[in-house]
Structure 1
Amino acid sequence: MADHKIVLDGISKTFGDNHVLDGVNLEIERGESMAIIGQSGSGKSVTLKCILGLVKPDRGSIRIDGQNVVGLRGRDLEKMRAKFGMLFQGSALFDSLPIWRNVTFALTQGKARDATNMRKIAAENLERVGLSSKILDLRPSELSGGMQKRVALARAIAPRPEIIFFDEPTTGLDPIRADVINDLIVSLVEDLGVTALTITHDMASARKIAHRVAMLYQGKIIWRGPRDRLYDSGNPYVDQFVQGRAEGPIR
């Protein structure tokens, strides 16, 4: 039996008349990197928010390490979230804080304490993503978009989470800088032994960073398979999406 880290079973979510998720089933193994692809508005972000506990599904269960996390509150929810690291779309760094406090934010809960040790931890994690300690005291606005993304990666891994979520990790980056971020994600996932879940519409990113890919369409997972089959899936919806064709079953 596979060693599942995350299991989504029949997850459904409706907002008014908008049926966003309609029975999503997905299993992610421990140490696996999974990518969910799909059109804008297909429910990728809502799926992620359900796992994070930011949105409560109407039906279904989400199990992490065998524990159903749907409906967790208070300390139980915080204990579960302590397993998570997150790379937000657009990096979402705090412009009012220097880089070292951004990187160690999850470790200090945003409070200025134990500065010497936190600066050391920040420097170590910046080095992991190829950045110099010379930027510790800079503000995010003083960095390029690619450097901001690296800082956000350093922040995501600083607490040494068991699971890292990547929300459109290459958005806003040119192809070269995007590939640098993809390479970093691959090396970090392998080096740290974490489980990773990425939502993306960047096919180059999905093919590079994921072991397996799943496609979400009209609220359901309609295909899943190894990344090497992404362009040879045998599924007309997947074929149209990954090849970016206007003509096909997706309207």
Structure 2
Amino acid sequence: MSVPRLSIRGLKKAFGPKVVLDGVDLDVAVGESLVIIGGSGTGKSVLLKCILGLIHPDSGSIKLDGQELVGLKGKALEQARARFGMLFQGGALFDSLPVWRNVTFALTQGKLGAGAAMHKIAVENLAKVGLEPRVADLRPSELSGGMQKRVALARAIAANPEILFFDEPTTGLDPIRADTINALIRQQVSAMGATALTITHDMASARHIADRIAMLHGGRILWDGPVSQLDSSGNAFVDQFVHGRSEGPITAGANG
């Protein structure tokens, strides 16, 4: 069998007495779009930050193409991160920079150089997410929420990363704009042949983006399978979450 692009085993993380991740096991195949679902506070963002090296797990393994990421520092960590593209939950655009500098930020590592070449690259990537060339010279504050998300997506794909991470990509968007972003994510992931890992509690987003879905609950992955099996998972936790029911094992545990 081929080595997974990402392989997570026994990942644990606690903050004081609160256990957030309690032995997460998960694989993401090369070219696969995996969506992790789960309620607020279930550890989805903590898991993502552990993979990115922003949080150090208490124990466990995170491997990228067979290379251990846990414990990497300095140049080795920078090299691993260079293979990643990230769409942050709030967009996280720099208001002090024009859109084109935001899009090419990773390519220049924030340094103000190669203006003409970077502007051209930014315009090309903005076109991929349906934005006109004129947008390149605007400031993020001049854009609507939906346009800011598109700019953030353009930034995430500008360096042609092998792995794309999406943190609640449709938060704050109305259903029409959210559907547009979902379609753009799916389109760009397919066009690039990239591996994608998305965390969300938006089921419309999950169904649109995913090849496979995994549910994080109680600090562990309690179900994963193809998106086509989501409505017939046979798992009561998944069933309650997917259909947004007020009664079931998730709320029974919360109220117990």
With the length of structure 1 as denominator, give the TM-score of the two structures. Answer: 0.99
- The CA distance in 1 between the partners of 2:105 and 2:181, in whole Å, is 21
- The CA distance in 1 between the partners of 2:224 and 2:106, in whole Å, is 33
Q: Give the corresponding residue for 1:24.
A: 24
Alignment deviations for residues 157-212 of structure 1 (CA, whole Å, 9 cap, x no partner): 00110000000000000001100000000110000000000000000110110100
Moved >6 Å (runs of 4+): none
Q: Which residue type is aligned with residue 208 of structure 1?
A: H
Partners of 2:3 and 2:66 within 8 A in 1: no
- The CA distance in 2 between the partners of 1:201 and 1:106, in whole Å, is 28
Q: Give the corresponding residue for 2:104.
A: 104
- The CA distance in 2 between the partners of 1:22 and 1:49, in whole Å, is 15
Offset, 1:111: 1.3
- The CA distance in 2 between the partners of 1:212 and 1:131, in whole Å, is 29
1:81 to 2:81 alignment:
yes
Partners of 2:36 and 2:199 within 8 A in 1: yes
Offset, 1:3: 3.9
List gaps (5 residues or longer) in structure 1. none
Offset, 1:224: 0.1
Offset, 1:250: 0.8
- The CA distance in 2 between the partners of 1:66 and 1:179, in whole Å, is 35
Q: Give the corresponding residue for 1:150.
A: 150
Q: Give the corresponding residue for 2:189.
A: 189
Q: CA RMSD in A?
A: 0.6
Q: Give the corresponding residue for 2:231.
A: 231
1:47-126 matches, cutoff 5 A: 47-126=47-126
Paired residue secondary structure (2:237): helix
Q: Which residue type is aligned with residue 57 of structure 2?
A: P
Offset, 1:137: 1.0
Paired residue secondary structure (2:45): helix
Offset, 1:121: 0.3
Offset, 1:109: 1.2
Paired residue secondary structure (2:24): strand
- The CA distance in 1 between the partners of 2:69 and 2:141, in whole Å, is 36
- The CA distance in 2 between the partners of 1:2 and 1:234, in whole Å, is 29
Q: Give the corresponding residue for 1:169.
A: 169
Alignment deviations for residues 223-246 of structure 1 (CA, whole Å, 9 cap, x no partner): 000111112211000000111111
Identity %: 67
Offset, 1:2: 4.0
List gaps (5 residues or longer) in structure 2. 252-256
Q: Give the corresponding residue for 2:40.
A: 40
- The CA distance in 2 between the partners of 1:203 and 1:2, in whole Å, is 30
- The CA distance in 2 between the partners of 1:216 and 1:143, in whole Å, is 34
Paired residue secondary structure (2:232): coil
Alignment deviations for residues 100-141 of structure 1 (CA, whole Å, 9 cap, x no partner): 000000011111101000000000000111101111110001
Offset, 1:66: 0.5
- The CA distance in 2 between the partners of 1:82 and 1:106, in whole Å, is 8
Structure 1 window deviating more from structure 2 (60-69 vs 2-11): it is: 2-11
